[in-house]
Amino acid sequence: MRGGRAHSGGRAGPAESRMDREQERPAPSSPAVGSAVCEGVAAERCGGGGLAALPCAMRHLPYFCRGEVVKGFGRGSKELGIPTANFSEQVVESFPPDISTGIYYGWACVGNGDVHKMVLSIGWNPFYRNTKKSVETHIIHTFKEDFYGEILSIVIVGYIRPEKNFDSLEALISAIQEDIEEAKRQLDLAEHLKLKEDNFFHLPEGK
């Protein structure tokens, strides 16, 4: 992917998820963060079996995760013009097994750099018929350089829609652009903005 060189810092372990941090951080009281999405935009956009996915999508949110950025399929920038940062298989496998596949929004930070809005996909990307589940993060920011090997910290805040196939590459790109705009709108809400300042984004020394 295309991305910016993160601020200097060591390597973290392969993955650190919210489950690793439950002793450090009290669990949120009910799905307050993102609950409006369940009743609003996500419910309208899901359609079909999408509504059934909402409980599994929302019960784990906000979800905290960090891991090293690895090379992905190489099509985000080349084919879509929408670069993504990929987590390793080990990080993907650390996600809750019952978390719904689909498109989410939240916050992302490379190393100890600035925190930016992001949109993220969890699943198999039906358009490309992936055989392995992936977690791909599009950081809504223009970077100057690649940042493979750097540590990406994310907080997944809300759910937009389920995965689906598309008739054309153009239709896929259009849907992703809509997802990005929806992520921007949702992350401007006060209850979502507060997570941008979470201490999770301060990478510990030596990681």
Which residues does the annotation mark as catalytic?
Answer: 136
**Cβ distance 186 to 105 under 8 Å?**
yes
Task: State the CB neighbour count (10 A cutoff) for residue 169.
Answer: 12
Considering only CA atoms, which of 179, 127, 141, 162 is closest in space to residue 6?
141
Considering only CA atoms, which of 61, 68, 63 is closest in space to residue 15?
68
AA identity, residue 169? L
**Cβ distance 201 to 153 under 8 Å?**
yes
3-state secondary structure of 152: strand
